Structure 1
Amino acid sequence: MSRRNPTGKGKQTGEDMPSDTHAISSSLSGIAVSPRTSKHAHRSSMEDDTVDEVELSLLGEEERREAAHGLDIEEQHVQPHSLSTEDKKAMVLLCVLYLIQGVPLGLALGSVPFILRENLSYSQLGTFALSGYPYSLKLLWSPIVDSVFIPSIGRRKSWIIPMQLIIGTLMLYISLNVQVLMDNASHHVGQLTFLFTSLVFFSATQDIAVDGWALTLLSPESLSYASTCQTIGLNTGFFASFTVFLAFNSEAFATKWGVPHLSLSGYLKFWCVMSYAVSLWLLFAKKERKEALSDVDLSISAVYKQIWAICKLRHVQLLILMHLFAKIGFAANEAATSLKMVEKGFLREDLAIAVLIDFPFQITGGWLAAKWSRGDHPLRPWLIAFWPRLGFALMATLIVYWFPRPPITMGFFIFLIIHTVFSSFASTVQFVGISAFHTRISDPLIGGTYMTLLNTFTNMGGTWPKWFVLKGVDLFSEATCKVKSGSTPLLTKGMSETDHSHQMLILLIVSECVSDAGKEACKAAGGECHIEKDGYYVVSGICMVFGAAFLVFYIIPTARRLQALPTSAWRVKMS
């Protein structure tokens, strides 16, 4: 096993480097940006001098000299081109690899929480939400993936193949035990969380290798399409495991449309077989050409030092801070709104259909966002899309508040679909925009690790608030249990005087109806929980107010300065 990183993301050699070009976007669309260049050819020299003077004010003295030196590099305008056959094949392969990653994410972050919602509290769902954290922490082990490999198998295949085999094996294990775990989910929260955390962990590890391979699998001019492949693959896998699965998992949906009922066990077994099949194809049919050896030390320790050096750059720190808090404004909407709608009577299969209809619009939105992210202001679409996302988050909160009693009318269902389409379109624009920016500034020398570094904080910004949001919903909620004694309903919110000792005992047990113990006690007493104050609205309000303030006073001014920096300002020299 080699521990030297013969790298070069950017030094395209061999079969993995098609001669033609295309680009890398991070979500669904192709982004025609050159990730290696230091400035744009179409700027006038006077504009360059003015902008670069502002840009360098963000840097330290030594960094300023290095960046200024980078500004002297002339850049040739990249002419439009058509995709070569090799690039097209590479894109198909990347889409398949990202698809396999999206399946576990769709289960862990989408369908499984919906299935568990009937038996778990929001606090327990918050515990299960921890299963998504490995995808946001993969930076911690990405240097190992970039540096350790078996030369005879290939630098990227050394990780992709075993990870997919492990993912398939885990899916097989869960499929054989899922019935026992789901039937009594409240007593198996820890085990379910561990299993799906492991599944996401191995998917995240595969993602590191695939990200690195994308930078050499595609030709330099075509790198922007890597994020297109990522978006199409991940979103397809995610929606297949979330919306499509939820619909076919519903007995009502299967009966209504005359389609077979799809169990979670059967779905997991199918993807187990697919993971094995793709792994065997990679092992025996896909040859990975060796990458050119680099004169730079790219051992594990060297890459970790490189990450630390990058994180010490002031503008990188500003970017990290921006990513960590940028998504708080719509955190409550993404974590709890759908669960609340289902709680109020919106059928899971109807929700799945709404999101499924939305999927083609997301693909279209990705391509459009890719075009908007070109030029001197790649973060402009990302910034503009903040306002509609906050607006749609507010609208979603009002939808939950005024949600009609089921069954819902067709008009209201169409309104929900329209809201979903526009909301996800804004989300897609942001995803593609920030991914285009990351691709543009990433150092190809440690491609997989650098992309992972930037994406880690983006993902973490959307992941870490979820636990607090779901915990906060229970924390700020007030609910009581109404127990019927004969024909007279007894409100059992606190200690109450009663002449019957057994009723007094019931009042002591079901003094609240928010915690798991309180809900179980209320149910055991033959009562029903009635929410007096829903913490969802409190948490949602806090998130949106913070999000709007943070956007105006920090994100907008900071993003405008960061996108003006030359590419060389984002690099550090390796010994």
Structure 2
Amino acid sequence: MAHKVDVLSEKVEEDDLPSNFRKDWANILLLVVLYLLQGVPVGLAFGSIPFLLKAKLSYAQIAVFSLASYPYSLKLFWSPIVDSLYFRSFGRRKTWIVPIQLAIGCLCLWLARTIDTYMAQPAEYMTTITLVFFAMVLLSATQDISVDGWALTLLSKENMSYASTCQTIGLNTGYFLSFTVFLAFNSAEFSNKYLRSVPNDVGVLPLSGYLQFWALMYFLVTLWLVLFKSEDNSTEEEFGITETYRTIWDIIKLPHMRSFILIMLCAKIGFVTNEAVTGLKLLEKGIGKEDLALTVLIDFPFQIIFGYYAAQWSRGENPMKPWLYAFIGRLIFAVIGMLVVAYCPDQDTSFGYFVVVVATTVLSSFMSNVQFVSISVFMTNIADPAIGGTYMTLLNTISNFGGTWPKYFILEAVDYFSVSTCSVPNKLGQTFSCLNEEGKQLCASLQGQCLVIQDGYYIVGAVCAVLGSGFFFWFILPEINRLVRIPAHEWHLNGSREESAKEK
């Protein structure tokens, strides 16, 4: 967190230094591996597990599991502790990374022995599944703090620009291995079609086997760190826990910061239904989870290309201009997402419909990428160089949390506004709901069909789109146009104090 101050304050000097990849290739590879290990549990918690659970759980039950993803958006609150408490003899970053990786490895190993039982009856073990993945994401988020800090001393100044590249490659690789690749090999349909000569009811890669493999990887990498990797603590500046927390509070109290924080916390409400529920809804409609995972794989290279151009578009006096255009685009695709679900074919998915799903996924991701790059440029421009690490960590945490906190309530609301009943009554002659797995199984045993009378997805999606549009034109648009005209020094702690003194 606060350890990033030197990097930001010396940005000009670093940009003038030539890059010498060979000098740091081993450390660059180490960073990629460490970030990859972080991406593995994140890919499971954010991607694969919700897809696997949807076959047996309601949206309200999946909402409970979505709480497992919260720690990654809240790591700011304990990052000062991770930066300040350590054993110097062992290493400032290894103090945290080594026990965290051992803990995640043990969790994976234990979970591999029990996960098949949990996933067979997920409603019964929902609390346990959520707590275990909450712990894994919490540990991964804490490791991310340490690895971010270690990158600043592992790499020489001329190669510091590779730090973000290592993070992008490592995290994305781990995420896609746990999401796209795992779902494909875990799918019986994919395995029977491409990998087997004799069909089977299960995929070639069970979740238990996948967890065992990564438990071994965590242990091997941790053993290598302990035995062969030393750490240099002499180049890092010390920051007190109390001092860092006080700085965070001072930043929040800045006059312009409060409205900017409000925007970041509420801006994603308009399209969060599309991004949190549409994929699950397509899965419910009969689209194969391996097909949805394939759309993410297709989208990956486009994200890299779009990210480059988004950075170009965000240059200039108003870096938030692309963000505003992309906001409107995401609202439009929130509506298009509902149309894609509404016209999902009842029978086998045609190639044409799959192309539509891929196109909407890529374009929606493009809008999201433009917003991410644009707001990152703006935050970099306004960040106070004297406290750059703390400042950027605060803004990134709030921005991430703005997309995380609504998911639980959105998933709960989809079930709340949905009405689905069985076409035949139960043994008591009563009509019963088909929203949960128990109701669906009972209806199937009675040879009935679950009839959707009212789909809460469309109600929640429409309400969110309307609220998002109203909030955008009433508050976000004029407020962003005002904020971008404020000089950078007025966003700084000293600059703000000087301005207040002048007014007095």
Structure 1 length normalisation: TM-score? 0.78
Match of 1:559 in 2: 480
Distance 1:285 1:123, change over 3 A: same
Equivalent in 209, 220, 228 of residue 146 of structure 2: 209
Equivalent in 107, 115, 120 of residue 44 of structure 2: 107
Match of 1:498 in 2: none
Equivalent in 34, 57, 61 of residue 120 of structure 1: 57
What is the Cα deviation at residue 81 of structure 1? 5.3
Q: Secondary structure at the match of 1:186?
A: coil
- The letter for the 2-side match of 1:279 is T
Matched, 1:277 2:220: yes
Deviations 1:420-451 (A, max 9, x none): 22221222222233334444544566665443
- The letter for the 2-side match of 1:244 is V
What is the Cα deviation at residue 97 of structure 1? 2.3
**Would the aligned equivalents of 1:142 and 1:452 in 2 still touch at CA under 8 Å?**
no
Query: Matched residues, percent identical?
Result: 50
How does 1:35-434 map onto structure 2 within 5 Å?
35-36=8-9, 82=19, 84-86=21-23, 90-218=27-155, 226-258=163-195, 261-292=204-235, 294=237, 298-434=239-375
CA distance in 2, matches of 1:194, 1:379: 38
CA distance in 1, matches of 2:25, 2:373: 20
**Would the aligned equivalents of 2:21 and 2:159 in 1 still touch at CA under 8 Å?**
no
What is the Cα deviation at residue 76 of structure 1? 8.8
CA distance in 1, matches of 2:490, 2:27: 30
Match of 1:540 in 2: 461
CA distance in 1, matches of 2:270, 2:153: 36
Q: Secondary structure at the match of 1:394?
A: helix
CA distance in 2, matches of 1:398, 1:359: 24
- The letter for the 1-side match of 2:65 is F
CA distance in 1, matches of 2:149, 2:73: 17
Deviations 1:158-191 (A, max 9, x none): 2222222211221111111111111111100010
- The letter for the 1-side match of 2:451 is H
**Would the aligned equivalents of 1:212 and 1:448 in 2 still touch at CA under 8 Å?**
no
Deviations 1:200-248 (A, max 9, x none): 1101111122233344545667666544433332222212111111111
Give unpaired runs (5+ residues) of structure 2.
197-202, 495-504
Deviations 1:121-162 (A, max 9, x none): 111001111111111221221110121112123222222222
CA distance in 2, matches of 1:286, 1:376: 44
CA distance in 1, matches of 2:43, 2:440: 29
Give the aligned CA root-mean-square deviation in angstroms: 2.9
**Would the aligned equivalents of 1:175 and 1:264 in 2 still touch at CA under 8 Å?**
yes
Distance 1:351 1:286, change over 3 A: same
Give unpaired runs (5+ residues) of structure 1.
13-34, 39-74, 484-491, 493-501
Distance 1:337 1:558, change over 3 A: same
Match of 1:9 in 2: 4
CA distance in 2, matches of 1:557, 1:89: 48
Relative CO higher for 1 or 2, CA cutoff 8 Å, sep ≥ 6?
A: 1
Match of 1:70 in 2: none
CA distance in 2, matches of 1:440, 1:220: 21
Distance 1:320 1:87, change over 3 A: farther
What is the Cα deviation at residue 515 of structure 1? 5.1
What is the Cα deviation at residue 291 of structure 1? 4.2
Bigger Rg, which one: 1
Match of 2:500 in 1: none
Which range moves more in the overlay, 262-271 or 383-392? 383-392
Which range moves more in the overlay, 307-316 or 429-438? 429-438
Structure 2 length normalisation: TM-score? 0.88
**Would the aligned equivalents of 2:14 and 2:158 in 1 still touch at CA under 8 Å?**
no
CA distance in 1, matches of 2:371, 2:30: 25
Matched, 1:506 2:429: yes
Q: Secondary structure at the match of 1:452?
A: helix
CA distance in 1, matches of 2:236, 2:294: 50
Distance 1:218 1:357, change over 3 A: same
Q: Secondary structure at the match of 1:185?
A: coil
CA distance in 1, matches of 2:110, 2:319: 44
- The letter for the 2-side match of 1:468 is F
Deviations 1:502-540 (A, max 9, x none): 85x131xx4433356654554554433210110100111
Q: Secondary structure at the match of 2:271?
A: helix
Q: Secondary structure at the match of 2:453?
A: strand
**Would the aligned equivalents of 1:365 and 1:428 in 2 still touch at CA under 8 Å?**
yes
Q: Secondary structure at the match of 1:479?
A: strand
**How many positions carry a matched residue from both structures?**
488
Which structure carries more helix by proportion? 2
Q: Secondary structure at the match of 1:531?
A: strand
**Would the aligned equivalents of 2:153 and 2:236 in 1 still touch at CA under 8 Å?**
no
**Would the aligned equivalents of 1:9 and 1:445 in 2 still touch at CA under 8 Å?**
no
**Would the aligned equivalents of 1:215 and 1:444 in 2 still touch at CA under 8 Å?**
no
CA distance in 2, matches of 1:441, 1:223: 21
Distance 1:387 1:78, change over 3 A: same
Equivalent in 387, 406, 413 of residue 465 of structure 1: 406
CA distance in 1, matches of 2:110, 2:117: 12
**Would the aligned equivalents of 1:155 and 1:290 in 2 still touch at CA under 8 Å?**
yes
Distance 1:226 1:529, change over 3 A: same
Distance 1:569 1:163, change over 3 A: farther
- The letter for the 2-side match of 1:146 is D
What is the Cα deviation at residue 454 of structure 1? 1.6
CA distance in 2, matches of 1:216, 1:369: 29
**Would the aligned equivalents of 1:208 and 1:449 in 2 still touch at CA under 8 Å?**
no
Which range moves more in the overlay, 444-453 or 168-177? 444-453
CA distance in 2, matches of 1:563, 1:225: 29
What is the Cα deviation at residue 282 of structure 1? 3.0
